[in-house]
Amino acid sequence: MDEVERSEPVDDLRSEPLVSVEITGLSLYTHHGVEAAEREVGQRLVLDISLDLADCDAAITDRVEDTVDYADVCQEVAFAAQERSYRTLERLCAAIGARMLDRYDAETVTVRATKPEPPIALPVDEVSVEVSTERA
């Protein structure tokens, strides 16, 4: 077998890493739901957020300033989830995702909202909705 000659060093062939930052199990008391009673009384939601960062220099620099602040992400998600009421979890997840895209310059944001005690007449552990939003 013939050896293929490389014109570039191997290090030059590596692309910048795609970093995924995930927060799971953020538990918040919110007022979302189809029924007026759900929106009035409220209930606990559990949120999982994943941000894909194409330009995350922290993988190279090891500097906290070059990535997203997890505590800040949690605060922003809490604010977005509690500032107004939505009828559907789909709309809530989309609103959170849009805010995360704008604030953190992420390429893709995935938000999963789970109702651990859904108001359903049949036995069910939980219901969830997941929405992924990409930068245009």
Ordered DSSP codes for 63-84: -GGGS--HHHHHHHHHHHHHSS
104: CATH: 3.30.1130.10
Q: Does residue 6 sit within a domain?
A: no
Whether 14 maps to a domain, the answer reads no
The pTM assigned to this predicted structure is 0.82
Neighbours of 66 (CB within 10 A): 15
Q: Domain tally for the chain?
A: 1
What gap in Å lies between CA 70 and CA 115, rounded to an integer?
23
What does the pLDDT read at residue 125? 94
Q: Determine the average pLDDT of the residues in 92-118.
A: 94
Report how far residue 100's alpha carbon sits from residue 106's, in angstroms, rounded to the nearest whole number.
7
Model pLDDT for residues 14-64, shown as the tens digit of each residue? 566 788 999 999 999 998 888 888 888 889 999 999 999 888 888 888 888
Q: Is residue 15 part of a domain?
A: no
Domain that holds residue 49: 22-134
Q: Round to whole Å and give the CA distance between 45 and 78.
A: 10
In a domain, 51, yes or no: yes
* pLDDT number for residue 36: 84
Give catalytic residues, as residue numbers: 115
CA angle 51, 129, 18 (to 5 degrees): 15
Residue 101 confidence (pLDDT) above 50: yes
